[in-house]
Amino acid sequence: MAGNTFGQLFRITTFGESHGVAIGVILDGCPAQLPIDLDFIQSELDKRRPGQSKITTQRKESDTVQVLSGTFEGKSTGTPIAMLIPNEDQRSKDYSHNTDVYRPSHADYTYDAKYGIRDHRGGGRSSARETAARVAAGAIAKLLLKQYGVEVFAHVSAVGQIQAPNLAQDDIAALLSIREDNIARCADPATAHQMIEFIDSVRKDGDTVGGKVSCIIKNCPVGLGEPVFDKLHADLGKAMLSINAVHGFEYGSGFSGSEMRGSEHNDIFLANEGQPKTLTNFSGGIQGGISNGMEINFTVAFKPVATIMHNQQTINAAGEAAEIKGKGRHDPCVVPRAVVIVEAMAALVLADHLLRNKTSRL
Amino acid sequence: MAGNTFGQLFRITTFGESHGVAIGVILDGCPAQLPIDLDFIQSELDKRRPGQSKITTQRKESDTVQVLSGTFEGKSTGTPIAMLIPNEDQRSKDYSHNTDVYRPSHADYTYDAKYGIRDHRGGGRSSARETAARVAAGAIAKLLLKQYGVEVFAHVSAVGQIQAPNLAQDDIAALLSIREDNIARCADPATAHQMIEFIDSVRKDGDTVGGKVSCIIKNCPVGLGEPVFDKLHADLGKAMLSINAVHGFEYGSGFSGSEMRGSEHNDIFLANEGQPKTLTNFSGGIQGGISNGMEINFTVAFKPVATIMHNQQTINAAGEAAEIKGKGRHDPCVVPRAVVIVEAMAALVLADHLLRNKTSRL
Amino acid sequence: MAGNTFGQLFRITTFGESHGVAIGVILDGCPAQLPIDLDFIQSELDKRRPGQSKITTQRKESDTVQVLSGTFEGKSTGTPIAMLIPNEDQRSKDYSHNTDVYRPSHADYTYDAKYGIRDHRGGGRSSARETAARVAAGAIAKLLLKQYGVEVFAHVSAVGQIQAPNLAQDDIAALLSIREDNIARCADPATAHQMIEFIDSVRKDGDTVGGKVSCIIKNCPVGLGEPVFDKLHADLGKAMLSINAVHGFEYGSGFSGSEMRGSEHNDIFLANEGQPKTLTNFSGGIQGGISNGMEINFTVAFKPVATIMHNQQTINAAGEAAEIKGKGRHDPCVVPRAVVIVEAMAALVLADHLLRNKTSRL
Amino acid sequence: MAGNTFGQLFRITTFGESHGVAIGVILDGCPAQLPIDLDFIQSELDKRRPGQSKITTQRKESDTVQVLSGTFEGKSTGTPIAMLIPNEDQRSKDYSHNTDVYRPSHADYTYDAKYGIRDHRGGGRSSARETAARVAAGAIAKLLLKQYGVEVFAHVSAVGQIQAPNLAQDDIAALLSIREDNIARCADPATAHQMIEFIDSVRKDGDTVGGKVSCIIKNCPVGLGEPVFDKLHADLGKAMLSINAVHGFEYGSGFSGSEMRGSEHNDIFLANEGQPKTLTNFSGGIQGGISNGMEINFTVAFKPVATIMHNQQTINAAGEAAEIKGKGRHDPCVVPRAVVIVEAMAALVLADHLLRNKTSRL
């Protein structure tokens, strides 16, 4: 109930603080006999790793994952898979001045108010460092999805007011190649260039900026999602909203759908052989909370990172006025590193619903 | 796991089909000794009831709730509270022609694909009629919140492209009075007038239109929400996305926050006595997933209702071309009736986190 | 968390008080397309029904079950199956004198201490009447098990010190016929006769007596049970211990196994074709928490019913001395009616693990 | 659902194989501000540690625990507490001959049948080595209980047919001193002597023997336990039955209660000031599933360890006859080391219900 567990049948529990010994995750419920490709897990972590480019935090962490249990001769055994990521660059002295002062728009005050005690070093448990554990588990979810042909692809669709055009094509391998070719992780090279310039200028200002990540899921089997509370998009939404700094989620027609009429919004079924298809896809691949076999798509809005290199007025734990200036190593814009976190959480939701759906009928 | 349960400690399980004998809910985990005001529960249901105005469906249901268990001499006893709402106006013959045909943007196809069997009468379990059970349970959640002084207020903030202005004041009783004074349930009388005109014209076209519901929560205690996966806004988001026809959720600065810089977005703490306050509230009352005592606010986007009175091309269960024309009794715009559903789900999330927070420290 | 839910994937939530409007159950997670035989459900309830013989309570309840949802044209649809059993003979005046007095070895005091409020009519929620809801859901679990050929058979193996001999044969249909031929529900006619005589004499003394129910499960698929905390026998044990008046559970060699040596206790595998078998079955069909395909067997100990027709010293809510005399209509010995409750709970555990096991490997 | 998690609010998830890198546990839900005494945790592990006396397995493991997260300056922070116990003495070559052969009354066959893959080294996940993780978490549960004055004491009450007399006194500190003074962990010195002699002779025979552990809980607050499925004794029973080799559980009057009459079994309330007490305690401190403030007591039956040093007939994975001889390092009798495991699981159940009970009333 303390909320460090996600998923029902394919279920993760994460632990660890930003500047503690290590962070990690236990994945329980991974079906036996799944090939566990350690290199793939590490390559996913490398996409989230700090210090990977000039537009990310310069904290140095190799984020090397260790698998402690649950695999045998390269395959899952059905028992819990525990993974550990030691913290290496724990310059917690950077944070010693924060002991008693509440950083604006961080979780310092709320943790203190809730628990009456707080590991103030680098945000402790509230640090986005926790998401590395999600990425490791999400990589195994992707390995499971691969067995079913499901593909998950996220990309930076906006940085500040710079909006990327719609995806030019739908081949995932090609899109991935374009995206990984630029440090903004945008699927459009020209927009990527603008985004990088902009983030870099924001960084030089000692400021930060928000952005959006969009995600598509291809070849999702029909029937995933439970129809009332655990609708597929509701679980995707919760997964995304649980990522640090996320302030909004929309799928299919999203917010713009609220301005449409039924006669334009309805997705007309096409008579054809095989699995039904629709002419449009305002439903975003999900109807009544259940996947319909069309492409699933959604977008996630990230607020700007709260740590800025400016002087800011704030208060201390006694409620007195205080001043703060960010001294840690932080990201000017979180979305390039968030892409793989969005994919990981989406993969975890899909893997969970794939398993859940195995019991929906005799 | 079949997903008909919501909440952890204050937990509801709903049941029932649109055109079955009854729908209902079991609420487990309601603390003992809470006064259970039946008239209040019924009055909440009356706000969701079909047939309440010219801009809602004309299905006739009194939606009279029966409490079957869990109360004694007007108070909760700590045992499960079961509530039953019999279905009265089950003109299922209206739906007899839908047996085999998939209505566009409904859940007919996905239910069939998932379960291989489907109660086709009026959408069966996928009908928004299920939300009456949520409203009944949400009313009890509100009674619990009342003990803590927490107030939840939702209102129609947009219909199609008609957007209401920001709330003119923050007295909940006054806002409620304005809202209930118009059948659009908008908190601005002038906008309400436009909305009603517009919905009525859409209705006459045999069409439907989407809209938005916004919600504020006042006097929320500091400390609600669990910091990693079960962040308060993540659970609110899931709750909202589980409501029929919802395609988007944002809180605080929401999607517009993705365009902002940290230096403008950060909510500066004000030195003062008592509970800390912030100058702005882009955080929407939640920081690090935990309530900070400021007003919580969020907005929910609803797509247009899928049932329209036009001829539509579609397919049948064999994949063959078919034609369909809506004949049931449906809403031209769902948001006026959705207001109380949004409030109910928000109240359920808050009640759950109120209880969960009781164990956060020694 | 309030504990009125049992099971993970095949999951029931019960509600209702002994002398309220009704009791009932929601079964969530029943796979779609299961034929739901209402007559069978009712026949199971009839075996638990009060007033069925001279050695049971004389409370008159037809225990007629109503299915409110989740089925369509005789089959499950995958949505929640709600079942209602109205209370008919609620002579709550029999209990009016108990308002303030704590009956010895009942739950009156502990409910009061826990909740500060108590529906004192007939034990309220603590009454074994709640188990009728379990039997209704358990009947559907049996219908699911039937699809897999699994058979569950329980019988009265002891009343007081009268112990039945081991089962004379292993044909379930034959055993069932013998058992239902006597009101003690013992699988040995001669012992049944003694038991009935004894219970009747105890009843005439205004007293009660304990007993034991034993259960076997045949044709259980290999592989059910999760290996660490949710071992198959651990879940069976919890299920049995959750039945009113149960004070002990043992499976396989049970308590006598604690006196044995490994060299006598080990079940030697037999070389043969097909599914492995063992020479002995001290493991009770479960090894490492997982079913091994041999017959599962366990025994449940019931204490004597607490309501006796004698004068008893006790206290009232103020802690003052008081006197009490049982006036309600109660069972002199609970085991003949408990047989079908034991079967129902066993069936629920097996159905749940059948579904859970569907995701154990790729 | 894969069953490696125990508890609802005070919740543990364990991981690790007998001969893998490490075993460990995540404890989620520990309230903030609890002093975490590492020396105490280690001292609990030392009581379970292999190689501690001549009557335990000679496997050498220091079982040194590392706390990876969730504490700050000696106190819990409300975030997950992860603990790691590296495996040191992994002589897995001892098990290389077991690759393909099913050891009688072990979990080799059932794991293989369930998962189709098995870490055969030392039993892998099915090894009782997993219980070290439970003891580490149970130690923290005890630290929480200590804040409420609750004391948990278990002891060896039988080895084979050697039965210890009833506890001679009820001072826990004194009992603990007597128990820890002998390697059998019996609370009666004379019986302990017999038990040690007997276990040693069994060991010399290359055989093993079963036994019983009894447990008392003092100063348990009134009101713990949820009344229907999650009765306090049902959760204790499940906890105990989830320990390797346990075949039976009874509480209060237990199996002997099934032979008694209500008139002798009923626990008469005594008129007095303060918290009600009963003359007898056949209820074992629990009525209607809820603690009543009297001493809680229960007994757990352990079968003999399956690994013996004799030649045994068995089969291999192909179903062919094979012979096996135990070569690993195992316990001749598991109960002396099991005492602290029983206490740990009892403490985990109580801690969980302590937290759960915080929300039972307004």
Res D328 pLDDT > 70? no
Res A36 pLDDT > 60? yes
So what's the pLDDT on residue B92?
52
So what's the pLDDT on residue A330?
78
Q: Mapping DSSP to helix (H, G, I), strand (E, B) and coil, where does residue A193 land?
A: helix
Quick one: CA dihedral A242, A246, A251, A257, positive or negative?
A: positive
Residue C255 sits at the vertex; the CA angle it makes with D339 and C239, to the nearest 5 degrees, is: 85
Q: Which residues of chain C neighbour B351 with C-beta distances below 8 Å? A: none
Please provide residue A101's backbone torsions phi and psi, each rounded to the nearest 5 degrees. -110, 140
So what's the pLDDT on residue B328?
64
Query: What would the pLDDT profile of B223-233 be if each residue is shown by its tens digit?
Result: 999 999 999 99
Instruction: Say if the Cβ atoms of A75 and D117 lie within 8 Å.
Output: yes
Domain ranges of chain D: 5-359
So what's the pLDDT on residue D96?
59
User: Is the CB of residue C120 less than 8 Å from the CB of residue C99?
Assistant: yes
* pLDDT cut 70: percent of chain B above it: 97
C-alpha span between A335 and A202 (Å, rounded): 14
C126 assigned to a ligand binding site: yes
Instruction: Say if the Cβ atoms of B362 and D33 lie within 8 Å.
Output: yes
Block mean pLDDT (10 aa), chain C, length 362: 94 96 97 98 95 85 94 97 90 61 95 94 91 98 98 98 95 97 97 98 96 98 97 98 98 98 97 92 98 98 96 93 80 96 98 98 95
A356 assigned to a ligand binding site: no
Res D95 pLDDT > 70? no
Q: Which residues of chain D neighbour C160 with C-beta distances below 8 Å? A: 258-261
Q: Which residues of chain C neighbour B66 with C-beta distances below 8 Å? A: 21
Q: Which residues of chain D neighbour B355 with C-beta distances below 8 Å? A: 359
C322 assigned to a ligand binding site: no
User: Is the CB of residue B106 less than 8 Å from the CB of residue A287?
Assistant: yes
So what's the pLDDT on residue D100?
86
* Residue in chain D lying closest to C210 (CA): D258
How many residues in total does chain A contain?
362
Which of B223, B257, B262 comes nearest A113 by C-beta? B223
Q: Could you tell me the CA-to-CA distances from D305 to C185, C290, D210, D211, D311 in Å, in that order?
A: 36, 17, 7, 10, 15
So what's the pLDDT on residue B185?
98
B33, B359, B360, B361: which to substitute to probe chain D, counting the most D Cβ within 10 Å?
B359
C15, C38, C111, C118: which to substitute to probe chain B, counting the most B Cβ within 10 Å?
C15
State the pairing for strand pair B269-270/B277-278: antiparallel
So what's the pLDDT on residue D1?
73
Instruction: Say if the Cβ atoms of A315 and B276 lie within 8 Å.
Output: yes
Q: Which residues of chain D neighbour C282 with C-beta distances below 8 Å? A: 105, 303
Res D321 pLDDT > 80? yes
So what's the pLDDT on residue B58?
81
Crossing angle for the helix pair C131-147 and C335-356, to the nearest 10 degrees: 50
| H helical segments located in B152-257 | 172-180, 189-204, 232-241, 254-257
B11, B356, B362: which to substitute to probe chain D, counting the most D Cβ within 10 Å?
B362
**How many contacts does A have with B, using Cβ atoms within 8 A?**
374
Which of B32, B79, B359 comes nearest D9 by C-beta? B359
So what's the pLDDT on residue B166?
96
The alpha carbon of residue A162 is apart from the nearest alpha carbon of chain D, in Å, by: 38
* pLDDT cut 70: percent of chain D above it: 97
Instruction: Say if the Cβ atoms of C362 and A34 lie within 8 Å.
Output: yes
Query: What would the pLDDT profile of B249-273 be if each residue is shown by its tens digit?
Result: 999 999 999 999 999 999 999 988 8
So what's the pLDDT on residue D98?
61
- Which of the other chains make 3 or more beta carbon contacts under 8 angstroms with chain B? A, C, D
Q: Mapping DSSP to helix (H, G, I), strand (E, B) and coil, where does residue A201 land?
A: helix
* Residue in chain C lying closest to A354 (CA): C359
So what's the pLDDT on residue D61?
84
- Which of the other chains make 3 or more beta carbon contacts under 8 angstroms with chain D? A, B, C
Instruction: Say if the Cβ atoms of D257 and C248 lie within 8 Å.
Output: yes
* Residue in chain D lying closest to B32 (CA): D361
Query: What would the pLDDT profile of B269-308 be if each residue is shown by its tens digit?
Result: 998 888 999 999 999 999 999 999 999 999 999 999 999 9
* Residue in chain B lying closest to A161 (CA): B259
D14, D79, D117: which to substitute to probe chain A, counting the most A Cβ within 10 Å?
D79
Residues contacting residue D332 through CB under 8 Å, at least 6 positions apart: D55, D199, D200, D202, D203, D207, D208, D209, D305
Which of B249, B315, B357 comes nearest A271 by C-beta? B315
* Residue in chain C lying closest to B70 (CA): C16
User: Is the CB of residue D22 less than 8 Å from the CB of residue D130?
Assistant: no
The alpha carbon of residue B258 is apart from the nearest alpha carbon of chain A, in Å, by: 4
- Which of the other chains make 3 or more beta carbon contacts under 8 angstroms with chain C? A, B, D
So what's the pLDDT on residue C93?
55
User: Is the CB of residue B296 less than 8 Å from the CB of residue B282?
Assistant: no
A305 assigned to a ligand binding site: yes
So what's the pLDDT on residue B57?
84
B67, B72, B75, B92: which to substitute to probe chain C, counting the most C Cβ within 10 Å?
B72
So what's the pLDDT on residue C98?
61
End-to-end CA distance of chain A: 32
Torsion, Cα of B36, B38, B41, B44 (10° steps): -140
Query: What would the pLDDT profile of D12-40 be if each residue is shown by its tens digit?
Result: 999 999 999 999 999 999 999 999 999 99
So what's the pLDDT on residue B90?
64
| H helical segments located in D90-220 | 108-115, 131-147, 172-180, 189-204
Q: Which residues of chain A neighbour B129 with C-beta distances below 8 Å? A: none
So what's the pLDDT on residue C95?
56
The arithmetic mean of pLDDT across residues A160-168, rounded, is: 97
So what's the pLDDT on residue B94?
54
Instruction: Say if the Cβ atoms of A32 and C147 lie within 8 Å.
Output: no
Query: What would the pLDDT profile of A206-252 be if each residue is shown by its tens digit?
Result: 999 999 999 999 999 999 999 999 999 999 999 999 999 999 999 99
What is the average pLDDT value for chain A, to the nearest integer?
94
Q: Could you tell me the CA-to-CA distances from D228 to C1, C239, C243 in Å, in that order?
A: 11, 10, 8
Burial C124-141 (b: 16+ CB within 10 A, else e): bbbbbbbbbbbbbbbbbb
Paired tokens of D326 = 């135990």
What is the average pLDDT value for chain B, to the nearest integer?
94
Q: Which residues of chain D neighbour C320 with C-beta distances below 8 Å? A: 271
Query: What would the pLDDT profile of C292-302 be if each residue is shown by its tens digit?
Result: 999 999 999 99
* Residue in chain B lying closest to A160 (CA): B259
State the pairing for strand pair A101-102/A66-67: unpaired
C306 assigned to a ligand binding site: yes
C-alpha span between A133 and A136 (Å, rounded): 5
Which of B102, B356, B361 comes nearest A115 by C-beta? B361
Residues of B within the annotated binding site for NADP(+)? 48, 54
So what's the pLDDT on residue C102?
94
Which of A32, A33, A360 comes nearest C31 by C-beta? A360
C303 assigned to a ligand binding site: yes
Instruction: Say if the Cβ atoms of D358 and B361 lie within 8 Å.
Output: no
Spell out which chain B residues touch chain C, with contact meaning CB-CB distance below 8 angstroms: 1-2, 4-5, 8-9, 11, 13-17, 20-24, 26, 28-29, 32-33, 66, 68-70, 72, 75-82, 84, 114-119, 124-125
The alpha carbon of residue D117 is apart from the nearest alpha carbon of chain C, in Å, by: 9
Which of A8, A104, A161 comes nearest B268 by C-beta? A104
C-alpha span between D40 and D358 (Å, rounded): 27
Res B173 pLDDT > 90? yes
Residue A272: Cβ within 10 Å count: 12
The burial class, CB within 10 Å (0-12 / 13-18 / 19+), for C319 is: middle
CA-wise closest residue to C36 among C186, C175, C139: C139
Res A94 pLDDT > 80? no
Among 3.60.150.10, 3.10.129.10, 3.10.310.10, 3.40.50.300, what is the CATH number of C5-359?
3.60.150.10
* Residue in chain D lying closest to B79 (CA): D227
Q: Which residues of chain B neighbour C127 with C-beta distances below 8 Å? A: none
* Residue in chain D lying closest to B31 (CA): D361
Instruction: Say if the Cβ atoms of D263 and C289 lie within 8 Å.
Output: no
Which of B267, B314, B319 comes nearest A272 by C-beta? B319
User: Is the CB of residue B136 less than 8 Å from the CB of residue B44?
Assistant: yes
Tell me how far the alpha carbon of residue D196 is from its chain's centroid: 20
pLDDT band at A102 (very low <50, low <70, confident <90, very high): very high
